Structure 1
């Protein structure tokens, strides 16, 4: 990466009320991934995948008006259930890296690292760090200027993940805990 001073690095963190293993699985199980990745109203479909070190995931996003974009993750680190790192790029239908369809000075590749830390038995803190790879000064500037949009986009995306996992991994409440009563009977 070309961001030695951290100036171009984007940070985002959120707490997901689900076990770390479930959050990791939602990022790496292609059937689950398509149910939550991307903003509200966008359908994500995984087209091809080899979720392993040096593997990839190719996906497309469709909006209400039709196709939006196709992206590719090239995995550079997978440490279940704690860490996922990938280089992300927009690609054409043949898998060749292309410019962002709506942002001509967007970096060609962005390295994203997700750290998943258990927060008690039933919650996970997702810390996301992303930075342009081998980017020009104008690409780095575009990435820095998009921090607000990135924050909104990831917040919406992770709200979708929270909703999905809440249905399958409800957070235990006080009524779910065993209560011992002494002297009963």
Structure 2
């Protein structure tokens, strides 16, 4: 009785991507090659979002009892808006120095109003549906509201606040 051994697979040959996951990875790789600046900005934006969400949650949790839910939310968002705009200036969009700092911060506060509206409305709705909701539930609602406004925030940062970087034209103060 003769036995044969299976053929050895070729060493270090790439395996073609198969299935939906492979197609998505291939599409993302092509997009990354075409738009490396956009992906660097998105990566920086994600890092900033995690940092600012954590800081906002800590401020909210600390102020929730003395100020109440809506005021704690408003104060935490205003404070984190300044931090968010500054970190996005540096990390996501590579802006250094103080040139147009006030201009960018002022616009960043306008963008913060979007998140404030979404989170305040979500908190109001939560307490209409569940008046005895815990602080953990409130924090989850705030996080979801921030995630929902994040896409719009990124677009406004990229195409309104920091458009001068894309157009390579100085913005008026």
Answer whether TM exceeds 0.5 for this pair: no
Which has more strand, going by share of residues? 1
Give 1 or 2: higher helix fraction: 2
Tell me the TM-score normalised to structure 1 length.
Answer: 0.28
Q: TM-score, normalised by structure 2?
A: 0.30
Q: Which structure is richer in relative contact order (CA contacts within 8 A, separation 6 or more)?
A: 1
